[in-house]
């Protein structure tokens, strides 16, 4: 394929995807002075995932009293937050149009560094959509936003430009499939951007469908993928797993003796090699009340069923 043909194909992908992308404006009441409430207006992006349903970042609609949606064809409408999960930085919106074609969802598990991706959204609140092109720089990133305290796991890293206002819009592959949700919550990022994998979005929606609301299931650990260097340092003879980097006090993991440096190789009877796989195993064990873990500590192997804590998301 010539460069001209490739360029035209990419432009067609943009036209197709843009029909499903929305700009989101929010109004939040703010006590700016002793003279009364002054509304603050925020902006972000989102995309249609089903009939009358859209996805965006939670931080885009957090605290919003009014949500206004501008569709790709310029028509304005209203929106309402149906569910949200601050830990995933995701929100599901009900929108007032049902004739907008949903975006096609890809499989973020198949993403590889070096793949071309497009970021589609409304940077700085400018009605778009606006497009930026880049590559997948890395996958499986875990980041802590110091300002908000939010820990985002299993992120996609890209060099495509992501600015405030892009938050909540899709990152799409060359086939026009959404493979992530862009997030500009990491304010200190310079020259790199991050996206929440689309399979995390699928999981978020599936939990709402199953339980009627998103739930947070956890055992009290933060983990990162095991690397050869870390495995050598810890003295474990495995190449795949997740290493415990933090154990929260007074949680089931802490009570059951998990420690920083432990390597979890199996959860709920299946191998785990990513943050997402452990999280899904924990969520799938909600009905059992505990998750079976196989843990390596140096040359020792520990097996235990650690209770799963289920919380309503406020």
For domain 108-208, give the CATH number.
2.40.10.10
CA 70 to chain centre: 23
Instruction: For residue range 196-254, list pLDDT tens digits in order.
Output: 999 999 989 988 888 888 888 899 998 888 999 999 999 998 989 999 999 999 999 99
Higher pLDDT: 128 or 90? It is 90
Q: Which two tokens stand for residue 269?
A: 């009877």
3-state class (DSSP) for residue 182: strand
> Which of the following CATH numbers is that of domain 13-95: 3.40.50.1100, 1.25.60.10, 2.40.10.120, 3.40.50.2300?
2.40.10.120
Q: Where are the domains of the chain?
A: 13-95, 108-208, 214-312
Q: Which two tokens stand for residue 242?
A: 């997740």
CA 191 to chain centre: 20
Q: Say if 13-95 and 108-208 have the same CATH topology.
A: yes
For domain 214-312, give the CATH number.
2.30.42.10
Phi, psi of 7 (to 5 degrees): -60, -40
CA distances, 60 to each of 64, 76, 87, 153 (Å) = 8, 18, 14, 19
CA R_g for the chain: 21
Q: Which two tokens stand for residue 177?
A: 């499939």
Q: How far apart are CA 244 and CA 262, in angstroms?
A: 5
3-state class (DSSP) for residue 54: strand
Overall pTM > 0.85: no
The residues assigned a catalytic role are 59, 89, 167
Q: Do residues 162 and 182 make contact, with C-beta atoms less than 8 angstroms apart?
A: yes
Instruction: For residue range 144-183, list pLDDT tens digits in order.
Output: 766 666 678 789 999 988 877 889 999 999 999 999 999 8
Q: Do residues 152 and 183 make contact, with C-beta atoms less than 8 angstroms apart?
A: yes
């Amino acid at each position: 394929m010539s460069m001209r043909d490739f360029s035209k194909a990419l432009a067609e992908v943009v036209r197709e995807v843009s029909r499903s992308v929305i700009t989101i404006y929010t109004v939040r009441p703010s006590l700016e002075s002793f003279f009364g409430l002054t509304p603050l207006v925020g902006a972000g992006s989102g995309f249609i995932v089903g009939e009358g349903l859209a996805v965006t970042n939670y931080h885009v609609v957090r605290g919003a009293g009014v949500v206004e949606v501008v569709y790709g064809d310029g028509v304005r409408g209203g929106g309402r937050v149906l569910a949200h999960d601050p830990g995933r930085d995701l929100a599901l919106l009900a929108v007032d149009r049902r004739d907008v074609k949903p975006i096609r969802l890809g499989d973020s598990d198949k993403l590889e560094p070096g793949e071309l991706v497009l970021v589609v959204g409304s940077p700085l609140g400018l009605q778009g959509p606006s497009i930026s092109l880049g590559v997948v720089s890395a996958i499986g990133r875990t980041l802590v936003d110091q300002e908000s305290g939010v820990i985002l796991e299993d992120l996609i890293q890209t060099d495509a430009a992501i600015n405030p206002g892009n938050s909540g819009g899709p990152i799409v592959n060359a086939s026009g499939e959404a493979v992530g949700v862009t997030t500009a919550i990491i304010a200190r990022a310079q020259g790199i951007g991050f996206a929440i994998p689309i399979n995390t979005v699928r999981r978020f929606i599936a939990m709402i469908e199953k339980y009627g609301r998103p739930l947070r299931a956890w055992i009290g650990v933060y983990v990162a993928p095991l690397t050869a260097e870390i495995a050598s340092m810890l003295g474990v003879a495995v190449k795949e797993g997740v290493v415990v980097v933090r154990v929260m006090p007074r949680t089931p993991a802490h009570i059951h003796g998990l420690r920083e440096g432990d390597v979890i190789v199996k959860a709920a009877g299946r191998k785990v090699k990513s943050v997402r796989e452990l999280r899904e195993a924990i969520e799938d064990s909600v009905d059992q009340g505990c998750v079976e873990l196989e843990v390596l500590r140096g040359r020792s192997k520990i097996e235990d069923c650690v209770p799963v804590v289920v919380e309503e998301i406020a």
